[in-house]
Amino acid sequence: MLEDLSAHLLDIAMNSVAAGARRVQASIQEKPLGFLKLEVIDDGGGVDLSEAVATNPFRNTSRTSRRVGLGLSFLKQSAEQCGGSFHFLSEPGRGTRVSASFSLSHIDTPPLGDLPGACLILMIAAPSARWVFTLESETLDSEEISQALGGLEALRFPAVALRVKPLIARALSFPSRVWRKQSNFIADCAIA
């Protein structure tokens, strides 16, 4: 079982990359009636699977190293155990949308975890994808970071990644103008 929402986000978003997505939107938002919604939308290859098949760990996996895929199953189980819901919608050639909601009042609702760290890991793992992260009303587009650094590949340098992570945290916590003010700082972090 994955321990927090950022771990679920990493798992589902990396599935998007494996499906050839060039753009991945990931959001975590508080919804009316006390629910938290995690959603990942991609423009990848999509699949022709029903939700029941997609969430069955023994019938669906793209891995060659093992015959079981647990990411969607764990997310669905976690959401439903917390009084929430899970939805999977995919269409070949058009992409996939995965969403899960969690009751904020339920004792087993997972914590957010290290969301800035998850965003950073995804950008490092797939620098050619365009990542759009939204936490509540604050959005961070990897295109801004890429422009400031001359490409997301610069994040592979530990000194750059360590300086960018707090900026990601601020960008998702404060209005987007804070990120724009920090762009020069990011550019200064780039190692030639």
pLDDT band, residue 50 (cuts 50/70/90):
low
- Assess whether pLDDT exceeds 60 at residue 101: yes
pLDDT band, residue 137 (cuts 50/70/90):
confident
User: For strand 23-31 and strand 130-135, is the pairing parallel, antiparallel, or unpaired?
Assistant: parallel
Tens digit of each residue's pLDDT (9 = 90 or more) over 164-186: 999 998 888 743 333 333 444 44
Distance CA 108, CA 132 (A): 28
Domain ranges of the chain: 5-103, 115-189
Do residues 64 and 87 touch, judged by C-beta distance below 8 A? no
Rg (CA), the chain: 17
What CATH number belongs to 5-103?
A: 3.30.565.10
pTM (predicted TM-score): 0.82
Do residues 175 and 138 touch, judged by C-beta distance below 8 A? yes
pLDDT band, residue 56 (cuts 50/70/90):
low
Distance CA 185, CA 63 (A): 40
Quick one: pLDDT at residue 48? 76
- Assess whether pLDDT exceeds 80 at residue 55: no
Tokens of 10: 């990493």
Distances in Å between the alpha carbon of 161 and those of 64, 71, 124, 156, 166?
31, 26, 9, 7, 9
For the chain, the distance separating the N- and C-terminal CA atoms, rounded to the nearest angstrom, is 41
